[in-house]
Amino acid sequence: MSTSQTTTTEHHPALAHQFDSMQQQQEASTFGMWVFLLTELMMFGGLFTAYLIYRIKYYQAFVAGSTSISVGWGFTNTLVLIGSSFTMAMAVWSAQLGRRKPQVWFLIGTMILGAAFLGIKSKEYYDKWDECHIPGHVIGKGFNAWGGCSANNPKLGNIAQEIIERAEKSHIEVSPVAAQQTAQQTEIFFSFYFAMTGLHAFHMIIGLGLLSWLLFRAWRGEFGPEYYTPVELGGLYWHFVDIVWIYLFPLLYLISRTRT
């Protein structure tokens, strides 16, 4: 802090005694939030690095697994999350100007879009559960991507069959044994899919908790031009979670769609 400005905000009730001014307090808080977000970046970054290594090693299986998840829902969810980032930015802007009503409505809008994202995500998870694509044998019916998931519908979740059909379209011969081996290897893709989208969804749930707390305080009219740091930091968190999804969408859903 080069020049500490003595203003009327000095006795603001939200000013902690270790800070000279509201501005200094806000800069320190924002900086601390960014340091926290960078630790989050390293946590997600570790998952992305592991993902890249396995994607290169088991590329065919990653293509097969990626093709089996719904690109339409993933695309919709990306738009939903980008929209929620916009409403969050608008909520911060309203808080900066001390406009209580738009602030409350933009926070509610952000929460609705966040909940919509989680709803669509649960629908996608349910589909994967239905298709026996949950890795391991603990949750659901046990991993099976080579037929035999459903007695009534032999094509349900049968990635091995899809590999053979796609290869036939490109006039390539794939033996059933090779197709089943690739289908078995998609278990590693789905492990990454659930670990990464699961950790992301967990952050969304925490974000919704933060937003309801911000909504309560905004509704009581606690934020204004002098003090809106909690909204600003909540916004930073929300945008960070949005950025993670901006990378998850192309990396998980769009690995190779050209031959489908």
Residue ranges binding another protein (CB under 8 A):
5, 23, 27, 30-31, 34-35, 38, 41-42, 45-46, 48-49, 52-53, 56-57, 71, 75, 78-79, 82-83, 85-86, 88-90, 93, 96-97, 225, 232, 235-236, 239-240, 242-243, 246-247, 249-251, 254-258
Residue 76's closest CA among 123, 108, 118, 117? 117
> CB of residue 139 vs another protein: minimum separation in angstroms?
29
Angle at 47 between CA 44 and CA 50, to 5 degrees: 150
With respect to another protein, which residue has the nearer C-beta, 114 or 134? 114
> CB of residue 19 vs another protein: minimum separation in angstroms?
15
With respect to another protein, which residue has the nearer C-beta, 34 or 216? 34
With respect to another protein, which residue has the nearer C-beta, 63 or 134? 63
- Taking the alpha carbons of 40, 41, 42, 47 in that order, is the dihedral positive or negative? positive
With respect to another protein, which residue has the nearer C-beta, 57 or 123? 57
Are 141 and 201 in contact, with CB atoms under 8 Å apart? Answer: no
Measured from the Cβ of residue 155, the count of other Cβ atoms closer than 10 Å reads: 11
> CB of residue 154 vs another protein: minimum separation in angstroms?
28
With respect to another protein, which residue has the nearer C-beta, 146 or 228? 228
The distance in angstroms from the start CA to the end CA of the chain is 57
- Taking the alpha carbons of 153, 180, 62, 41 in that order, is the dihedral positive or negative? positive
> CB of residue 236 vs another protein: minimum separation in angstroms?
6
With respect to another protein, which residue has the nearer C-beta, 208 or 236? 236
Give the integer Cα–Cα distance in Å for 101 and 249. Answer: 34
Residue 231's closest CA among 100, 114, 116? 100
SS (H, E, C) 232-248: HHHHHHHHHHHHHHHHH
Give the integer Cα–Cα distance in Å for 129 and 123. Answer: 10
> CB of residue 132 vs another protein: minimum separation in angstroms?
26
> CB of residue 238 vs another protein: minimum separation in angstroms?
9
